[in-house]
Amino acid sequence: MATAIFVAGPTSIFVNVGAGYVELGQTDNDNLPQVSYSDNIHEIKTVASGATPEEMVVQNTSATITVTLVKWDAAVLTSLQTRQRGAAYSSTVGRLLVGDSGTFGIKVAPATVGKTGYTFGRCYLMGDAIAHSQFGNVEQRMGLTFRAIPDGSNLLAASYTS
């Protein structure tokens, strides 16, 4: 396959907190979403291999999704916080996210027709996940960091064409 230039353009972020996907917000060309994938690997070391692994076992994959929104729906953001924490600005300590429906779905949807988008079915807000910035006489930005883990069918993400 030949090399190509890929331009997604502005992107909308949708979330599903149980009643279908709704728009959380939009990015712009200066703040496009990033998705990084991490393989969870267990190293098996033996006396024969010393400190170097003799074998490595892949124990699934997760993804980190980072977005900076230039416009967002505050009510939808509050619903994400409430779904994960149990309340918007406090937490239910000891809450199980997967078993207690604390996770949600995320769809990264390019605004340009024909571009590849992604849906992650089981996500949660990471620690230090919300960065509300640029207070003053300029537009504010909302930085969010999500972690995606495989769903009950062991599916991390699905791609689609917008």
- Each of the 162 residues of the chain gets a pLDDT tens digit; together they read 688 777 777 899 999 988 899 999 999 888 889 999 999 999 998 888 788 998 999 999 999 999 999 999 999 998 888 888 776 666 777 777 777 678 899 999 998 888 889 999 999 988 777 877 777 777 788 899 999 999 989 999 999 988
26 domain residue, yes or no: yes
Work out how many domains the chain is built from and give that number: 1
Residue 83 lies in a domain: yes
pTM score, whole prediction: 0.84
| CA–CA dist 83, 70 (Å, integer) | 23
CATH of the domain at 26: 2.30.110
